[in-house]
Each structure stands twice: as C-alpha cells, then as structure tokens.
Amino acid sequence: MALLYYFVLGLYTLALRLAAMAGHSKAKRWAQGRQHWQQQLATWRSQHPDPVLWMHCASLGEFEQGRPLIEALRQQYPDHL
C-alpha cells in the first residue's frame, strides 16, 4: 500500500511541476515554495538553536482544534519556539 501511495505522490508532483513549467500560476508558486527548503530550514535552525515544538495544521479548523494543545505546550515549555 505504501508503494502505491509514493507512486501516486510522485505522479502528483510530476503533474504539478509540468503545470508550473506550462505557466500555471498556483503550480509555479507551489514549485518555487519548495525550492531549497532544506537549506532554508538549516539556515533557520542555525539562527534559532533553541528547542522547537512543531505542530502542523493543514487548515484553520485543525489549528482551532489544536489550539488548546498548543497553549498547554506553550505553558509547559515556555523556552521552546
């Protein structure tokens, strides 16, 4: 099942990159936003060596549901970014 997931994900990525090359504005922003992300993250981490709590919220609704957890983590770990 995981193999199928990664195959479809690869097709999706290829389709978006082709759309970006064809001039689709959203696909172009998607591709540009993912360029050099590892280097940008490494640079940010070198400038912010403190421990980090990272919570991904894909939508505003997920953020609102996670807000109590985020606030509790902020209180428990005030020194974390």
Quick one: tokens of 45? 């981490």
CA atoms of 59 and 62, how far apart (whole Å)? 5
**In the chain, where are the structural domains located?**
1-35, 49-81
DSSP string covering 42-74, please?
A: HHHHHH--S-------SSHHHHHHHHHHHHHHH
CB atoms within 10 A of CB 16: 17
pLDDT band at residue 1 using 50, 70 and 90 as cut-offs: confident
**Structure tokens, 9:** 């994900």
pTM for the full predicted model:
0.59
> pLDDT tens digit string along 7-65?
999 999 999 999 999 999 999 999 999 999 999 999 999 999 989 888 899 999 999 99
